[in-house]
Amino acid sequence: MAGLNSSSPASAAPTDELVAAAKAEGHLTVVGLPRDWWGYGDIIDGFKAKYGLCITELMPDAGSAKVINTIRNARDTADPQAPDVIDVGLPFALSAKRDGLLRPYKVAAWEAIPDAAKDPDGYWYGGYYGTLAFEVNADIVTTMPTDWADLASPKYRNAVGLAGNLTSNQAIQGIFAAGLSAAHGNADEAADQGLSFFADLSRRGNFVPIVGGLASLEDGRTPILVRWDYLAATDRERSGGRTRIEIVRPKTGIVGGVYAQAISAFTPHPNAARLWMEYLYTETRAFLNSGYAPADLEGKLARVQHSGTEVYPLFPTQEELDRAREIITNGWGDVVGVQIQCLPCGSPSGIPMVFSEGTIGQRTMSR
């Protein structure tokens, strides 16, 4: 994953007035911020330690659609756990702005954020981006897939999973990426082709219909995951060497995605929300210090190395993503015909597990 690089001057502190107002509110509610995603655990702890605000970490593993729904609930009901700040895939931020669910605010470091990665009126700002990759348990899978079509091989039976359900930006873009490869780069056909691709994987017995993660990767339920490359890298760090994890970026169908931060239009703690954004972008510059600036989200971002050649991923337009989400979420049941299960950690799954290539077994989960 890369942040949004800037050559602007050193970080600045938020105003005393903002700090005092945020401390008077005394609380911040974040939603959909996994602690192992972009170092959010350290960021949350650092913010809490510095300013002494209580932080509620609401639904840390929620997908972008569910995150946006928490704002709708705050609008329509007196929800005591209304979120203040969110982190969602860019298409969800754009649609949330259109629906009146976001509150504008420009951080002090506004000029350091590239124009292509922020809403001109301050409703959202991109923080980081990545590309879809194959996260592979190399202790189980000894022959690495190199492209999407490889996943249909018999050697990957009961092996391939999505790291997200169909309401998540990650899963939708993963399906889109597979279809983009099958459609030879035609974005207009990518969603339909993606559904056909996963339907074929399911018929072959290669697709495992559970929401995959590090646990299912390590124990053999999903030894190959379609996942953002930066999350795969985080999994490798979390594994601490107990599992050999390889990260393979496919040769074709290379899709990038930007994640954006925003403040809820119905935030109960607006000053704490503003202080959080200043902490991210101005004070610690957590989202401005690594990677390089995305000057063009449609292709001049995040180059990927393949055989010594730099390849630019496709960053789908808002229209392409809206259309893909509608096709995929509405067509999955009819075309693919399997429901993706969200399983609690450590529960017996009943899902066949791969122990080595070509060998399928089953066991009871112990963790």
Q: Mapping DSSP to helix (H, G, I), strand (E, B) and coil, where does residue 110 land?
A: helix
pLDDT score at 164: 87
pLDDT score at 360: 33
Residue 43 to residue 286: CA distance in whole angstroms: 8
Per-residue pLDDT tens over the stretch 333-352:
999 999 999 865 444 444 44
Residue 38 to residue 304: CA distance in whole angstroms: 20
**Helices and strands of the chain, counted as H and E runs:** 10, 15
pLDDT score at 198: 98
pLDDT score at 127: 80
Phi, psi of 127 (to 5 degrees): -110, -35
Percentage with pLDDT > 70 across the chain: 83
The stretches in the chain having pLDDT less than 70 are 1-12, 80, 288-312, 343-367
Per-residue pLDDT tens over the stretch 160-213:
999 988 888 899 999 999 999 999 999 999 999 999 999 999 999 999 999 999
The answer to whether 130 and 258 are in contact (CB under 8 A) is no
